[in-house]
Amino acid sequence: MKKKISPAWLLRGTFLVLTVVLGVFLAVRAVGNAAARANREGGYAPGVYTASASGFGGVVDVTVTIGDKGGITDVTAVGPDETPDVGGAAIPTLVSQILQRQSADVDVVSGATYTSNAVREAAAAALAQASGETGAARPTPEGDNLFIPGTYVGVSKGFGGDVEVTVTVSENAIESIAIGGEHETENIGTFAVEMLGERILSAQSPKVDVLTGATVTSNAILRALNDALTQAGADLKRFPDATDSGEAVNRVAVNMDADIVIIGAGGAGMTAAIDATQAGKSVILLEKMPYAGGNTTKATGGMNAAETHYQAEQGIEDSVEQFVEDTMKGGHDLNNRDLVTVMAQNSAAAIDWLDSIGAPLPKVSFSGGATNKRIHAPEDGSGVGAYLVTAFRRNLDELGVTVLYDTCATDILTENGAVSGVKAQSKTQDVTITTRAVILATGGFGNNEDMIVRYRPDLKGTVTTSAPGITGDGIVMAQAIGADLVDIEQIQLHPTVEQATSMLITESVRGDGAILVNQEGKRFTNELLTRDVVSAAELEQTGSYAYIIFDQRLREGLKATEKYISTGITVQGDTIEDLAAQLDIDPATLAQTLADWNGYVAAQEDPDFGRTTGMEADLSQAPYYAIKIAPGIHHTMGGVKIDTQARVIDTQGNPIPGLFAAGEVTGGVHGGNRIGGNAVADIVVFGKVAAQSAIAYLAQ
Ligand code: ADP
């Protein structure tokens, strides 16, 4: 069969060739360096220089040609993996700016920050070569060895800041890799980062596939690794290519069995897997991504629970009944009250259970839609999702649960109407697992545009905050064996999502005092109304977007803002007028809006939109910040119909024997609007209910 060469590899090939050409050039240049310097009129040594940097979707290569007089005479930039309409479209502008200014210090193209920064970084590196600042000869290992033994550190720019890779090598092996990058972990979880490290170690090569859903971070890690390995004297050409060539492999049929098969290693699936294993059942957990966590990783707030020992210890009065009422009200009374009652009644026990597995959530506070302080969060202020996923993974490891990563469940098998097995596929294996009980925990369908449009045509083209694996597979598999769906068209929009990166700007920014303005520089809503109402108001504005505006005081008080700033999605101005000018808003109007708002804060009254919360401090400390945002799909509240025992119900109203479901794959708990803190309550409570029901079913 003819081997296919992908455009990315062609590019890399070109890059390698250029690197070799450059090497020869540098060697020749070293001899006649003085002469070459004398030739420079524009400041650079004539020649062709190439460098690359990580963009939004992949590597961006920039080639700079320096003419005889030492000026930049030609620039090309190639970024095949950049979003065509965004980063791709920005490249010609950046290239012409570099030529015009004869410098890599060009303006970021608005809305294409990643690509812009990559072009700037790569152009600067190429020009550094042209200035003779780089090009030091690579140290040479002894004999035919791959490395000079030692520990080396490489650094590269990732999603939210610098990624640092520390690699220890012996003469011919990569012995260990440590990957640091505080900002990255918040987005995809430390385990994803660890897994790329494992992939590199087992391949003994930096030429491995990037992690799906974590391209920018993966590329940054690989670039930092290449940097470290080059310092160790490695010739990168000598490493084996361990990337997936896309060619057909000989598939292997694998048969397994388990008491319970759980599909999806997000919060609900991992809870169920731990609970069932603790009860002595054999469990296989299937996860289609190379890492666990799903949307759960992204949960930042906490877990709602009522009548917990933490509330009692902190003197907080609350009740299960109030929790039920708040949830029903928040969900516009569309919720299934029985399911909500199960969630509320079992929430305190779920908190105790989290204590028992080493994942306490002791910090209790208020959150939107709750009458009492009810949301439980980690002590250290870390995001609840990443915290729980890390704890769940540790428990799965300790319990020795079989987790098959990169393995996508495709079918639930039945015999005489009862569950009899699961079929799944990995890159190389067709797996058939015989089992009597299956727990679906595949999450929602926020990342499946076809499904979104099928149920909500009005949301076509809306960005999503969902993780890449959240494509509604569980709903499709359950429907194929007769399951009923409930509230499937109920999809929650989050009003503050940056559109180029799908990064969610947490509600706390508005809670701490930020306002929303439209392109005309005016407020248009009470910013702290429910997510659906604020989203709808944004969609009515010019261009269906808005800007979230905050100041230096707010930045200093809210850690989350640092990520927005380091990611490059924030526009900063020394004065409000300066900020307005950068946003193409009339400066006088925006200044008036801010002045009015600060007056309302002083008077503690918002005559325009009746806002009453998030008014503790005004917006008056320069510099000022803005992020362009619009609504994004956040949570699919409908899904598979379950009863209070987490049994999946068919279209005739009967439980499907052996099929259980928990978490975002199900419908009914959240009704028409999920309140913050209830997603985590849902996954932990119903993950445990599903496990216990499956165990009871097996005993029948
Ligand atoms: P929940 O919050 O309900 O636990 P999450 O979004 O956290 O849901 O997790 C769902 C998990 O299920 C994700 O890790 C996702 O990759 C995984 N998943 C989705 N579809 C499949 C499938 N067909 N096979 C295996 N895993 C799946």
Class of domain 492-632: alpha beta
pTM of the shown model: 0.78
- Residue-level pLDDT at 604: 97
What Cα–Cα distance (Å) separates residue 67 from each residue in 46, 125, 132, 139?
5, 17, 15, 30
Quick check: CB of 288 below 6 Å from ligand 1? yes
Residue 288 has pLDDT above 80, yes or no: yes
Atom of ligand 1 nearest to the CA of 385: 7
Quick check: CB of 378 below 6 Å from ligand 1? no
Quick check: CB of 446 below 6 Å from ligand 1? no
Q: Which percentage of the chain shows pLDDT scores above 70? A: 90
Does the annotation count 337 as an active-site position?
Answer: no
Quick check: CB of 57 below 6 Å from ligand 1? no
The rounded Å distance from CA 405 to ligand 1 centre is: 11
What value does the mean pLDDT of the chain take? 88
Quick check: CB of 470 below 6 Å from ligand 1? yes
Question: Who wins on pLDDT, 451 or 197?
Answer: 451
Q: How confident is the model at residue 27 (pLDDT cuts 50, 70, 90)?
A: very low
Q: Which pair of tokens denotes residue 675? A: 């309140």
Q: What is the DSSP string of 179-208?
A: EE-HHHHHHH-HHHHHHHHHHHHHHTSS--
> Which residue's CA is the closest to the ligand 1 atom numbered 8?
443
- Residue-level pLDDT at 160: 63
- Residue-level pLDDT at 17: 46
What Cα–Cα distance (Å) separates residue 283 from each residue in 261, 344, 549, 690?
6, 27, 49, 13
- What are the E-state strand segments in 396-462? 402-404, 408-415, 418-425, 429-434, 437-440
For the structural domain made of 47-130, what CATH number should be given? 3.90.1010.20
The rounded Å distance from CA 490 to ligand 1 centre is: 19
Quick check: CB of 273 below 6 Å from ligand 1? no
Quick check: CB of 469 below 6 Å from ligand 1? yes
Q: Which percentage of the chain shows pLDDT scores above 90? A: 63
Residue 342 has pLDDT above 50, yes or no: yes
Q: How confident is the model at residue 552 (pLDDT cuts 50, 70, 90)?
A: very high
Range in 26-40, 51-65, 530-544 the model is least confident about: 26-40
- The DSSP output letter for 1 is -
Question: Who wins on pLDDT, 77 or 245?
Answer: 77
Strand partners, 433: 256, 422
Q: How confident is the model at residue 448 (pLDDT cuts 50, 70, 90)?
A: very high
Quick check: CB of 169 below 6 Å from ligand 1? no
> Which residue's CA is the closest to the ligand 1 atom numbered 9?
266
Q: How confident is the model at residue 90 (pLDDT cuts 50, 70, 90)?
A: confident
Q: How confident is the model at residue 513 (pLDDT cuts 50, 70, 90)?
A: very high
Catalytic residue among 223, 374, 531, 611: 531
**Alpha carbons 239 and 233: distance in angstroms, whole number:** 13
Class of domain 252-299+386-490+637-698: alpha beta
**Alpha carbons 496 and 614: distance in angstroms, whole number:** 16
Residue 37 has pLDDT above 80, yes or no: no
Burial of 43-76, coded b for 16+ CB within 10 Å and e otherwise, reads: ebbbbbbbbbbbbbbbbbbbbbbbeeebbbeebe
pLDDT tens for each residue of 379-398: 987 789 989 999 999 999 99
Q: Which pair of tokens denotes residue 254? A: 């694998």
> Which residue's CA is the closest to the ligand 1 atom numbered 19?
442
- Residue-level pLDDT at 330: 93
- Residue-level pLDDT at 1: 37
319 residue type, one letter: S
Q: How confident is the model at residue 188 (pLDDT cuts 50, 70, 90)?
A: low
Quick check: CB of 141 below 6 Å from ligand 1? no
**Alpha carbons 648 and 458: distance in angstroms, whole number:** 29
Instruction: Indicate left, alpha or beta for 483 from its phi (over 0: left) and psi (-120 to 50: alpha).
Output: beta
Atom of ligand 1 nearest to the CA of 292: 14
> Which residue's CA is the closest to the ligand 1 atom numbered 17?
264
Question: Who wins on pLDDT, 315 or 185?
Answer: 315
Q: How confident is the model at residue 83 (pLDDT cuts 50, 70, 90)?
A: confident
The rounded Å distance from CA 634 to ligand 1 centre is: 15
**Alpha carbons 345 and 329: distance in angstroms, whole number:** 17
Q: Which pair of tokens denotes residue 581? A: 């000018």
Q: What is the DSSP string of 310-377?
A: HHHHTT----HHHHHHHHHHHTTT-S-HHHHHHHHHHHHHHHHHHHHTT----EEE--TT-SSS-EEE
Q: What is the DSSP string of 328-347?
A: HHHTTT-S-HHHHHHHHHHH
Name the strand (E) or helix (H) holding 596.
Answer: helix 587-603
- Residue-level pLDDT at 106: 85
> Hey, which of 191, 287, 445, 636 would you mutate to test ligand 1's pocket, going by the most ligand atoms within 8 Å of its Cβ?
287
The rounded Å distance from CA 442 to ligand 1 centre is: 3
Class of domain 150-238: alpha beta
The rounded Å distance from CA 288 to ligand 1 centre is: 7
> Which residue's CA is the closest to the ligand 1 atom numbered 27?
264
Quick check: CB of 661 below 6 Å from ligand 1? no
- Ranges of each domain in the chain: 1-38, 47-130, 150-238, 252-299+386-490+637-698, 492-632
pLDDT tens for each residue of 114-149: 788 888 888 988 888 788 765 556 688 999 999 999
**Alpha carbons 403 and 394: distance in angstroms, whole number:** 12
Quick check: CB of 408 below 6 Å from ligand 1? yes
Q: How confident is the model at residue 15 (pLDDT cuts 50, 70, 90)?
A: very low
Range in 99-113, 304-318, 518-532 the model is least confident about: 99-113
Quick check: CB of 290 below 6 Å from ligand 1? no
> Hey, which of 188, 343, 396, 442 would you mutate to test ligand 1's pocket, going by the most ligand atoms within 8 Å of its Cβ?
442
The rounded Å distance from CA 438 to ligand 1 centre is: 14
The rounded Å distance from CA 264 to ligand 1 centre is: 4
Say if CB 282 and CB 259 are below 8 A apart.
Answer: yes
Which residues lie closer than 8 Å to 606 by C-beta, 6 or more apart?
526, 600, 612, 615
Residues in the chain: 700
Domains 47-130 and 492-632 share a fold: no
The rounded Å distance from CA 293 to ligand 1 centre is: 8
